[in-house]
Each structure stands twice: as C-alpha cells, then as structure tokens.
Structure 1
Amino acid sequence: MDDMGISENLDHRNKLMGTFSTLFNKEELSDIKLVVNRKLILKAHRFILTVHSDVFKSMLDTKRWTDSKDHNVHLTEEENCLSHFQDFLRYLYSGTVSLSTENVLPLHILSEKYNIQELKESSQSFMLANVASPGTCNQAITWHKYAKLVGLGQLEEECLRYITWNISTVIESPDWMLLEPHQLSALLQMSDMVVEDEVVLFQALVRWLSLHPSHTEEMLSHVRYPMMPPEKLFDLLVPGRLPKDISSYLLRESLLVYQAHVLPMEALGQRNDISATPFIMRIYTSQSYSQPWDILRYQMMNKDTLGRSLSTRHFHLKTQWNVTYSPKGQQHYDYRYGAYNSVACEDDFATLTVRLTTCEPADQSHSHRMSIVLYHCVNGQWFACDVKTLEVPHKENATIKDLIPLSERDKYISDDTMKLHLIGQTIWHKHE
C-alpha cells in the first residue's frame, strides 16, 4: 500500500450529461429566454450556452446584452433553420441529435454561426457520406451551392461530381427547380455529364424554364441539338407540346439536327465546325452509344478475363468495340521453359483493354474514346461514383492497367455484383 492509501476513479459523466438534458426548455433554473425570429420562444440557461459556445458567451456579456433586464435574447436565423433550432439547442444540453438529409444543412449553418465545432464537423461528414441519395430527397444542388458559399471545398467537389455523373437522378429531385441560372448554365456546358441522351436533358431544362422564363434564350443556347435523336426531336415538335417560344427555338435548330443525321460528315463540315461544342458527345448512356455490364457472382470468380462486344452509331459512323476485363486480376503461364515446365503467374490488376474491331469509315476525320462509368450501391440504389476515360486509336489496343485498385474494390461490390457502363464516344476533327 502506498502513502496515498486506497483510491478509486469515478466516472459519472453520462449521469451528469443526463441531468443537464432534463433541463432542456424547462422553467427550472432557467434564467433567459431565446426568442428566435419573433416566432419561437425557448427557455434556456446562460451557463450551458456559454460553456458550449464562445459566440453565446460574447453575446450574453451583460455589458453588451441590451435586453438583459427582461432576460430575453432575440435571435435572427435563416428561415430554413427556424424549424430545426429546437433540435440544435437540445444538442447543447444532451450532446445528441439525429441527422438527416432534411436537417443536416440547417444544423451545420447554426453550428457554424455559434461555433459548435463537434456538431459542425459531424454535419459536414454526414453530408459528404450522403451526397448520393435518391432523387426525392437528394440535396446535392443545395449542398453544392452552400459549400461553395462557405468554402467547404471537399463537399463542393463531391456534390459537383455527383450532379455531373447522376444527372438523371438529380433532375427528379425538388432541388432541380431551385438551380440558380449560373449553376445551370455551367452544368449545361459540361461534356463529362452522364445522361441518357440530349433529349432527356432538354426536357428537364424545359421544366426549369417554366419557373425561369426570362432565361429561355440563354439556356437553350447550351443544348447540343445535333446530338438529339431525330425521331425524338420529331416527337418534341408536335404542335402544343412545348411552350411557343421554346418550340420556335427548337424548330430553328431542327434543320441542323436532320442534316447531321442525313449528310456525310465531310459535307456537314464544309458549313459547320464539327469539332465545336454542339457536336461534342456527352457521356450518353442510351443504347445507341453504350452498353451496361453487370458482373455477377463476383466473390466466386477466379482470376478470369471477361469479354464484351458493343456496337455504337454516331451520325453515319458505325463502330464495333471489343472490351476485355479482369475484375479480380489475371492469371497467365510463363512458357519460357516449355509447356510441361510452365510457371503459373498472377497479379491483382483489374485490367481493362479496348480495341476497335470495325470503324466505317476509318479515316482521320475523327478519333475514339471509351468512357467507363463505375457504380456503387447506396441503400439499395446504384449511383455513378467514378468515370474513367480511355483514348482508343484505330487498329491498336488501349489499356487501363488497373481500373479499380484492389484496396478500393469492395465499395464497387453489392449483392455480389459489380456494375459498369461502357460508353463509346466519337470525337470529330475540324474539317480542313
């Protein structure tokens, strides 16, 4: 036994925190009232507020607090924060709150304003982890706008990637109609957007313009009309289907659409710059340009090489692609010492190789690129999470040595399935 005698450490922090939580919005020992936007009144305790927040500490300094005599603290918050302020205040008493896609942004705004560091960091982490969410509750557009405003660089980048590669989900969200003109203009000018075809994007734009008619000419100028399938354009031009000003604009562009799908590119290039933006393909997932590839029973696979062929058509150009992929790496034999003494070799590189087997006509007017969209599954729904591109020369193999590194592979597997989408793209060169 030492000179200090017998000792025992007590840890009653949870009990003390539980005691504090029972004081939330209670009259007992309350010494102030928070009046939020002149609508919400909550009883509070100066001690708890000032311990958690240096902003509240400064605000409740009796020398600065103009309403100290009647114990009222008037707060002005953003309107979307009002319905979540009670949860924010409860967090200061209990240290607990349930985050959701609905409340996380208001809670981040409040924690930023009152410098509640732990809640601010947890809210930001929640948004980063949930950028990919179903269309009805997706807030990538709102979060992107906020992240850019307050300087959350990583969140801004994640939201922009998600929006660009999952536009078909985003256009179904309530957020789509809230896009600001400069956001939509920048989005429409992107060539790395993953979308079914140009008509799907055009129809989403028409819906947005119903609330923002003053931007009609500006936004319609960013649509890539030559990329529209003529049969879908024909349906769009049915009388009465579109607002008159949009229909008139589309009718003016329709001649170029039909010319692009009827005339040889050599003839079209004599009057148009076919290397310009209107003729540049986005990452279109319609069957004219692409093919999905579901790799099933991944866990039971050996180090096999799988093959897939796809045909694409861009204007008059028909292209046949051959793709091989080794999802788990490759196994091969070293025959330097003869067949009977061959040595089995293997690696873990998920190698993907592409070759053009047919391109008509195969000339110098164009080149080819393959985009591979990679998906991951979130709450039972698949979202595009990465896009790899590969320049594919005529009559040569093009290879991505390791499409998905071994250390990252698990995030692309769900229900023993890996999902890819192969998109064949043609890049036209300026006519000389």
Structure 2
Amino acid sequence: MAGLAGGRPAGARRGGCGWATLLLLLLPVQAAQRADLSGEAAGATINHSLALLHRLQELLHHGNASDTTLRVRTAGSDEVKVFHAHQLLLALQSEAFQSLLRNESVVTLHEPADSAALFEKFIRYLYCGEISILLHQAIPMHRLASKYRVATLQRGVAEYMKSHLASESSQGHVVGWYHYAVQIGDAGLQESCLQFLAWNLSAVMGSAEWATVSAELLALLLARSDLVLQSELELLTAVEAWVGRRQPEGPVAEKLLRAIRYPMIPPGHLFQLQTQSAVLARHHGAIQDLLFQAFQFHAASPVHFAKYFDLNCSMFLPRNYLAGAWGSPWVLSNPARDDRSTSFQTQLGPSNHDASKRVTWNVLFSPRWLPVSLRPVYSDSVSGAIQSVRLEDGRPRLVITPAMTSSDFAGVSFQKTVLVGVRQQGRILVRHAYSFHQSTDELADFLAHADLQKRASEYLIDNALHLHLIVKPVYHSLIRVRK
C-alpha cells in the first residue's frame, strides 16, 4: 500500500518544507469554511471536520508531504514495515514521538509480533482519532499506546476492556487481561477483572481459561467470600484439576488447598474425598487439621462447637452458593409494573447438625416508584408522568424475611445476597451482586440504574428481570472456653 508499505507518490517531497506543504494540503477545507462564514452577520456553525479527517487519512495513505519515515521491525523475524508519516501530526498526539523525531527523520522501532501487526491501526489513530479493535487486540494496542505515551488511546483501550469483560471469546480473555493489568499496574482494570471472575467463576472454571490462571490470581479468588458457584465442592474439584495440571511446588499447592472452606462441604463428600482425591492424598499432611476441624463442625451442635472455636472467620462463612439448599432463582416478568412476592426454603445452616432443618423465606419485590395506575407496560421513552417523579422515589425494593421465628435461630444471623443476571453476547452472566440483612432499603444503589421500565434495558432478559436469591447463614461464637 503506497505510503504505508514503502511506496511514495512521485510528487511527495522530503525536507524542511514538509510542514508548510502539509498546511497547504489542508487549506482548501479551511478556505471553504471562511467562504461559508462570510456574508450575513448572523452567527452559524459550519462543521467540515469529517472532510478534514478524510484529508488527514489521505495524507497517511499516499504519504504526501511526509517528512518522517518509521521502520517497524518485528521481533524474531526479518519483517520490516515502512510508514511515511508527518512529524507534526505524530508529535501532536505522542510525547514519545515528539522526543524520538526531534533530530531524526528516519526512526527504526522494534515491536513484538502482535504489536507490529497492529502498528498501521495505531498510526492511523494518530491521524484521525478513531480506531476499531477486537478482544485479542486489546493488550497489544494498549501496549503501543503506553509505550508511545498516547494517553487518550491508553484510556480508551482500558475502558474498552472494562466494558467487554463479558464478551464471548473462544479461549477466554479476562484472565489474560487481569495478568496484563497487574503487569502495568492498572488497579482499576485489575479490580474489574477480579470482580467479573468472582461473580462468574463457575463459567470460568469450566472453560479453557481456567488453566491460564496464575497461582497468585487463584489465591486472591480463593480468599473472597463473594465467589458465585454451585458449591464449595465444585470449587475444590476445580482447584484439584488446576493443581494436577500445573503441578506447582508443594508450598504453593498447600496454600491453595488450605483456602478451601471444608466446613461448607457435607461430611459424606469429605469422606469420599479422602479416598478418591489423588491431590488431597498427596497433600494430606498439610490439610488434615482442616479436615478434622470440618468433621468436628459437622458432628457437634453449632452452639457446642462455638464454645471452643472461633466461628467469626472466613472458614465458616459461606460463599454465594447457587445450590438449592442456599437459595432460589426468581424470574420477574414486567418488573416495572407489578409488586411481586414469592417464597422459598433453605437449610438453617451449613453444619450437618442443621442440614435437615428448613427455614421458609418470604420475598417481596416492589417497583415502589409509581402507583400501579401510572406504571408503564414497556416503552422506549419515558412519559411526562414518569419524569415528574423524583429519582429517589424510583428505586425498586426487595425484602426477604423469615416466615417464622424459632429458638434454632439463636447464634445464627442471615446475610442475603441478590444476584442480577444479564444476557451479554448470548451468555447469561452476573451483572451485580447486592448483599443486605433484611431489605434492600439498606442499600443506596439497588437497581438504581436498571431502567426497568424500558424494553431495551440491559438488565432485562426477554422482558424479565432474572434474580437469584441467596441466604447465607452465619454462626457466631457464643462462649469462648480456654483450651
């Protein structure tokens, strides 16, 4: 391609007159603007920015009046790409190019293969301020923007990554983006990736992406109580597969296995694991105290166990389990119009002593923000009646309360978590997780930006709100006895 791969039109010149020639090439657009503005005294705005962008792209494409040559060498090969460019435009966008081109008209740049493949896109952005990228191009493009200090592109690619965590890709991309965020020190991108992985861990554990998780990332995930997964047993099975495949050093494997919350696994499964798990057998000495403690937890009553062990630690805190013993899915059609109620049952607590005891929960969901007569069926615009309602009156409300009281509740408190599912790129994923004790009135942001009255709301799947209600029973230490 002329101007991009070594070619140059016969009329293109090099030397000190390059910038002046560049300005002359752009003058027709400016002259047209002056002519349009002459005449009547009334003010007007005439926008020829698209024509100017087209001329800038033509400059890059044909190499007209170029005064700079960039030679991009691909690491590990003899491939060299040549770009005839303009120092003024490069320096305006990039502090690094401003320094590199100060005393040089020909510069050789060395780039890894994935970055070299995108260099034409990168240079074109410097000319027209627009770029299109795919998931697998995000890291090399961000790397180019960082290396050449193009701050606007750097921020733009980072925002693209944060907003495309849920996009579907054949090999997965969130784990790779997290590791890259750690490498460059982008704390915001790290946290966005971590939260997505925590809320959608079951999907990640069942994909090829699981094998690419580093030991450091896995340790961070295992420390979290907001992981969304079917059960602790599912998590242990995935960690065993990771250890079996990656074969980490003994201390690393033992640290990860000790982060499993064994008291959250029913005793029957714990017995099976001791005889069937090769990974647990290999590291049994490092975790046998935790297994013994878990069996004690299931054998004794929680009140008796609490006299001797501190239950206020993560080992005895449930995660966000999707299994039926911990909660229930709830799909609400037309959630902007009608108050809804439902009920479901959970087991009293994770201890086997409480496994057969059931608690019935009553749930109320209310749009709360309009009387029924004014609630819309679905529309893509907001009516004047709706606009007149204060935003603070518009927050939906959800209340989860037990249907009965019991002495069995002594020493147990219940944390509720509501997962909100969304469909993105054909997959149903967790968009938000809200935790509270009794009512979402305790929260300032529950579905605050959900736009439930709009058919096109990203919070709705087939015009319905998809929730999963989870009750997490938490035991408390009652009496501490010195050992």
TM over 0.5: yes
Q: Any conservation in 2 of the 1:326–1:351 contact (CA below 8 Å)?
A: yes
Q: What is the Cα deviation at residue 211 of structure 1?
A: 1.2
- DSSP-derived class of the 2:86 partner: helix
1:37 and 2:65 are equivalent in the alignment: no
Q: In the TM superposition, what are the counterparts of 1:12-411 in structure 2 within 5 Å?
A: 12-23=51-62, 31-37=69-75, 39=77, 40-47=79-86, 49-50=90-91, 52-62=93-103, 71=106, 73-75=108-110, 77=111, 81-92=115-126, 96-134=130-168, 136-209=170-243, 210-214=245-249, 215-239=252-276, 241-242=278-279, 244-246=281-283, 253-298=290-335, 302-314=337-349, 315=351, 316-317=353-354, 318=357, 319-327=359-367, 329=369, 331=371, 348-358=394-404, 361-392=407-438, 403-405=446-448, 408-409=451-452, 410-411=457-458
- DSSP-derived class of the 1:213 partner: coil
Q: What is the Cα deviation at residue 291 of structure 1?
A: 0.6
Greater helix proportion: 2
Q: What is the Cα deviation at residue 102 of structure 1?
A: 0.9
Q: What is the Cα deviation at residue 227 of structure 1?
A: 0.5
Q: Any conservation in 2 of the 1:303–1:329 contact (CA below 8 Å)?
A: no
Residue type at the aligned position of 1:201:
L
Q: What is the Cα deviation at residue 419 of structure 1?
A: 0.8
Distance in 1 between the 2:169 and 2:474 partners? Answer: 32
Counterpart of 1:342 in structure 2 is none
Unaligned runs of 5+ in 2: 1-33, 38-46, 374-388
Counterpart of 1:337 in structure 2 is none
Q: What is the Cα deviation at residue 134 of structure 1?
A: 3.7
Cα distance per residue 1:186-242 (max 9 Å; x no partner): 221111222221112112222332315211111111111110133443443444654
Residue type at the aligned position of 1:374:
V
Shift in alpha-carbon separation, 1:54–1:29, aligned structure 2, 3 A: closer
Residue type at the aligned position of 1:16:
R
Residue type at the aligned position of 1:229:
P
Residue type at the aligned position of 1:20:
L
Distance in 2 between the 1:332 and 1:117 partners? Answer: 50
Shift in alpha-carbon separation, 1:207–1:23, aligned structure 2, 3 A: farther
Distance in 1 between the 2:283 and 2:120 partners? Answer: 46
Q: What is the Cα deviation at residue 52 of structure 1?
A: 4.1
Shift in alpha-carbon separation, 1:213–1:206, aligned structure 2, 3 A: same
- DSSP-derived class of the 1:34 partner: strand
Q: 1:7 aligns with which of 9, 30, 35?
A: 35
Q: Any conservation in 2 of the 1:197–1:284 contact (CA below 8 Å)?
A: yes
Q: Any conservation in 1 of the 2:236–2:260 contact (CA below 8 Å)?
A: yes
Q: How many residues align?
A: 400
Q: 1:418 aligns with which of 465, 470, 480?
A: 465
Cα distance per residue 1:399-427 (max 9 Å; x no partner): 55884236644332121011111111111
TM-score, reference length from structure 1:
0.79
- DSSP-derived class of the 1:274 partner: coil
- DSSP-derived class of the 1:99 partner: coil
Q: What is the Cα deviation at residue 55 of structure 1?
A: 1.2
Residue type at the aligned position of 1:277:
S
Shift in alpha-carbon separation, 1:32–1:353, aligned structure 2, 3 A: closer
Residue type at the aligned position of 1:381:
R
Distance in 2 between the 1:207 and 1:141 partners? Answer: 17
Say which is worse superposed, 243-252 or 211-220, in terms of deviation: 243-252
Q: What is the Cα deviation at residue 172 of structure 1?
A: 3.7
- DSSP-derived class of the 1:103 partner: helix
Structural RMSD (CA):
3.5
Distance in 2 between the 1:94 and 1:398 partners? Answer: 47
Q: Any conservation in 1 of the 2:397–2:440 contact (CA below 8 Å)?
A: no
> What fraction of aligned residue pairs are identical, expressed as a percent?
22
